[in-house]
Amino acid sequence: MVQKLKSPAVFFFTGALLIFALVQFLIETGRLNAYWQTILFWGAAMTMVSLGLNLIYGFNGQFSLGQFGFYALGAYTSADITWRWVRGDPSGLVVVIGGSILALLFMWGVASFLKRFYGVSVFTEFVFHAFATVAGFAIAVKYLRPLLGPAVYSFIQSLPEPVGRQIVFFLALLGGTAIAGIVSFLFGIPVLTLGSDYLGIATLGFTIIVKVLLDNSDTILPFPEMKGARGMVGIPKWTTWPWVFVCFMFVVLFMRNLLHSSVGRAIVSIKEDERAAALMGIDVARTKILAFVVGSVFAGLAGGIRAHDQGFLHPTMFGFLPSFNPLIIVVFGGLGSMTGTIITGFFWVFLLEGVLRLVLPTGFENWRYVIYPLVLLLLMLLRPQGLMGRYEIPFLRQTYPPVRKAAEAKA
Amino acid sequence: MASPEVFVQQILNGIQLGFLYALIALGYTMVYGIIRLINFAHGDVFMVGAMTSFFAISAMELHRWPFKLWPGINNTAGTLLGSITVIILSMITCSLLAVTIERFAYRPLRAMPRIAALITAIGVSFFLEYFGALPFVYTNNYITYPRPFELTVLRAEDIPPWALGLVSGLFLTTLTTYFVLNGLGNRGNSKAALLRHNPVIQFFLYLGGLLTLILSLVVVLPSSGIIKWDLTISNVMLVIMSISVFLVVALQYIVTRTKVGKAMRASAYDKPTSRLMGINVDYVIAITFAIGGALAGAGGVLYAIAFKRIHHLMGILPGLKAFISAVLGGIGSIPGALVGSLTIGMAEVLSAGVISSPMRDAVAFSLLIIILLIRPQGIFGEAPGEKV
């Protein structure tokens, strides 16, 4: 039975499809050149990262500066998978996907084992989960790679080339998000117990640690193809508009549906008052970790998209200065407003990387970063609640159950 | 690590780095303690301090002024006077800059949510960095810093015995004085109890203790044949140590003894009530920024003297590490900032020696995360009160 769609949903999906068709048309007819296409895809990726941060900070109230660390993890993981694949080496795919599945299975086992005990300390929980993860990936490297690698490779090679490529790209994106999710889960267990500013500093530390590790990926870590501080080149450029659109819609719809569920209400309630939420029977620690992991997964997905659009990755792309971008976008758009984040995310990349680069004469690119802080200052002074405040378009707006409305009307 | 000798040498280098971080960390810790703002622009104030001194030295030759004024002046005295002028100039510039930043970027947002001030702090930080990168300001290349005085590496035989005797004598005298006063104070002599925390006594106690330790490691132990290490210290390290200790003690004096310091502590504790008690909180906050900026300026000059290369982005990582040292030591506490900075400095230098030099940032931040997990309020911090 087909359920009758409500009008906001009809509007939303029609609008989304129209935008999709319009952009696809412009690309096919060649009116949207490669430069603006890159800006558009970059904007989508940045918006996905910022939406993740908005879920963590805007909706759940956890001040995190680690979003770019997960973005980097997702980007490098998926890039590594496809880099190896196009050079005839399926090990990246097998290890990441197989290892993630094994690690998740082990973690599930650990979680159900730990559930039998009361008052398990955070440290113990972390150590058990970390051990499960390491064991999962170790098994994947040691046994799955020689066992499954050739079979997977010959199977996908036997498919028609475009189909195989799409499958590999899908799996690479999945691998990037899986790594981002697993690492954020492990990191989140101990760190989310900290208070707001300390959490911010710890997550900032995470970003910097990831950056340093990427700088040394060819010397300290065993990934010579990442080339450390020289930057990873030769990533296949497989990102296309349909992929960007599908991933973006996935992020928006997933986040919207999550926030509209009872879990989403728990997430928002933790932001409003953690203690009251705990008294109402919400598992605060678990809900925080859930929001953190989902936000980081979005960042990992965006990383995969961005890596395969640009074809080149460099650790400074994920360094200290750019890592404030999602925070700035989220605060500008309005904390706790998906609409605001989406608008400012695209607008920010469009303005800073698109327009200002073209408007300013050559040799004056650095002026962008002199003007930009002044805009930042002015906007914060004039509109500290963000451009959109807490406004949402009707489809994303949360409608409360009728009981609540009746109670409000009475009061 | 190759040998215990290298290990001890690295610890000495770590002390130097730690004292530099301490100068920045004090500004962070005071600002955070009073308005709960992570002042990301502080690292760039530090950079401006280094750049100001660069211009003062290279363009204005300010460090040569005693030689121009009194041609017959003793070389040491002239250099000392000139260098102190340069440092003071940087301190004044940076404190003015910090006060300006506070006035225009943070004060209008004081009633707003804290995130707004954090975003403007990031904005100010970007502005200072990229304004500096413009070709007519500092350019975005590395600049070689002309030291106002030459770096000389001191070996055991270079240090005259009288200096050693003087330092240890001073240390022993202050130590004795301290204990005498302490004893008197414990018996109820209130004057002695006050006097034992006198800044002069504190200064010689800390600096003398450290110097005695280091000099005995470098000079006494090898010459008496107990150890056969060839350790070196530089005059820059001694200068950094003494200026840092001096500024820390001066700061401790200001915060604990003067009226402004009392007002600072009151405002940090409870702003509305301090206002009711007649404290001008805005003025107190401006003073805090001025002191923090001055310390960062001094830190910038000393950093440039020690490492000889300056850059428009040089403030980011030292600033961050200073902040994590402040968090490590317990934010809002001055001795905590010092201890945290020394810890981070040593951890960094040792990890550069043991693992590899690029891993030092990762090690510093991992240390922070681990300490935060074990003791979230930091080493010297007080446990946060329960807010219901």
**Residue A61's closest chain B neighbor by CA?**
B115
Mind telling me how many Å the CA of A356 is from chain B's nearest CA? 15
Q: Which is more confident, B274 or A224?
A: B274
Residues of B in contact with A374 (CB under 8 A): 123, 127
Confidence bin at A399 (pLDDT 50/70/90): low
Strand boundaries in chain B, DSSP class E: 143-144, 153-154, 233-234, 309-310
What's chain A look like in SS3? CCCCCCHHHHHHHHHHHHHHHHHHHHHHCCCCCHHHHHHHHHHHHHHHHHHHHHHHHHHCCCCCCCHHHHHHHHHHHHHHHHHHHHCCCCHHHHHHHHHHHHHHHHHHHHHHHHCCCCCCCHHHHHHHHHHHHHHHHHHHHHHHHHHHHHHHHHHHHHCCHHHHHHHHHHHHHHHHHHHHHHHHHHHHHHHCCCCHHHHHHHHHHHHHHHHHHHHCCCCCCCCHHHCHHHCEECCCCCCCHHHHHHHHHHHHHHHHHHHHCHHHHHHHHHHHCHHHHHHCCCCHHHHHHHHHHHHHHHHHHHHHHHHHHHCEECHHHHCCCHHHHHHHHHHHHCCCCHHHHHHHHHHHHHHHHHHHHHHCCCCCHHHHHHHHHHHHHHHHHHCCCCCCCCCCCCCCCCCCCHHHHHHHHHC
CA A22 – CA A272 distance, rounded (Å):
40
Mean pLDDT, residues B4-33: 87
Judged against a pLDDT cut of 90, whether residue A396 lies above it is answered with no
Q: Which residue has the higher pLDDT, A299 or A396?
A: A299
Q: Which distant-in-sequence residues (6+ apart) come within 8 Å of B313 by Cβ? A: B47, B129, B133
Please tell me the least confidently modeled range out of A106-120, A229-243, A344-358. A344-358
For A200, nearest residue in chain B (alpha carbons): B38
For A316-337, what is the mean pLDDT? 87
pLDDT surpassing 50 at residue B386: no
Longest pairwise C-alpha distance within chain A: 68
**CB-CB contact of A333 with A344 (8 Å):** yes
Average pLDDT over residues B10-37: 88
Chain A residues interacting with chain B (CB cutoff of 8 angstroms): 63, 122-123, 190-191, 193-195, 197-198, 200-202, 204-206, 208-209, 212-213, 215-216, 219-220, 275, 320-321, 324, 327-328, 331, 335, 366-370, 372-374, 376-377, 380-381, 384
Say which range, B31-35, B42-46, B291-295, has the weakest mean pLDDT.
B31-35
As a whole number of angstroms, the distance between CA A283 and CA A277 comes to 8
pTM: 0.88
Reported as a pLDDT band with limits 50, 70 and 90, residue A403 is low
Query: For residue A407, what pLDDT band results from cuts at 50, 70 and 90?
Result: low
* Alpha carbon distance A155, A164 (integer Å): 9
Percent of chain A with pLDDT over 90: 34
Averaged pLDDT for residues A292-308:
94
Does the CB of B358 have a partner CB in chain A at under 8 Å?
yes
Distance from CA of A46 to the nearest CA of B (A): 18
User: Which B residues 193-252 touch A at CB under 8 Å?
Assistant: none
**What is the mean pLDDT of the segment spanning B5-20?**
86
Give the model confidence (pLDDT) of B174-212 as tens digits: 889 888 888 888 888 888 877 877 888 888 888 888 888
Least CA distance to B111: which residue of chain A?
A384
Distances (CA, A) of A168 to A164, A209, A247: 6, 29, 15
Q: Is the pLDDT reported for residue A410 higher than 70?
A: no
Q: Find the closest chain B residue to A274 by CA distance.
A: B388
Of B81-85, B219-223, B239-243, the least confident: B219-223
**pLDDT band at residue B388 using 50, 70 and 90 as cut-offs:** very low
Contact between residue B142 and residue B309 where contact means Cβ atoms under 8 Å apart: yes
| Average pLDDT score, chain A | 86
Residue B241: what pLDDT? 87
Residue A47 has pLDDT above 90, yes or no: yes
CA distance A234 to A311: 6
The stretch A346-352 carries a mean pLDDT of: 87
Q: To probe the interface with B, which of A204, A370, A371, A374 has the most B CB atoms within 10 Å?
A: A370
Q: What tens digit of pLDDT does each residue of A138-189 get?
A: 998 888 888 888 888 888 888 888 888 899 999 999 999 999 999 999 999 9
Mean of per-residue pLDDT scores for chain B: 85
Q: Which of A193, A208, A377 sits opposite B105 (nearest CB)?
A: A377
The CA distance from A376 to the nearest CA of chain B, in Å, is 6
pLDDT recorded at residue A120? 82
ipTM of the shown complex: 0.84
pLDDT tens track for B251-304? 888 888 889 999 999 998 888 899 999 999 999 999 999 999 999 999 999 999
What is each CA distance from B101 to B47, B96, B117, B313, in whole angstroms?
Answer: 15, 9, 11, 18
If phi > 0 it is left, if psi is from -120 to 50 it is alpha, else beta; for residue B385 that is beta
How do residues A360-391 score in pLDDT, each as one tens digit? 776 666 777 788 888 888 888 888 777 877 77
Whether the per-residue pLDDT at B122 is higher than 80: the answer is yes
Q: What pLDDT, in 10s, does the model give residues A73-90?
A: 999 999 999 998 888 888
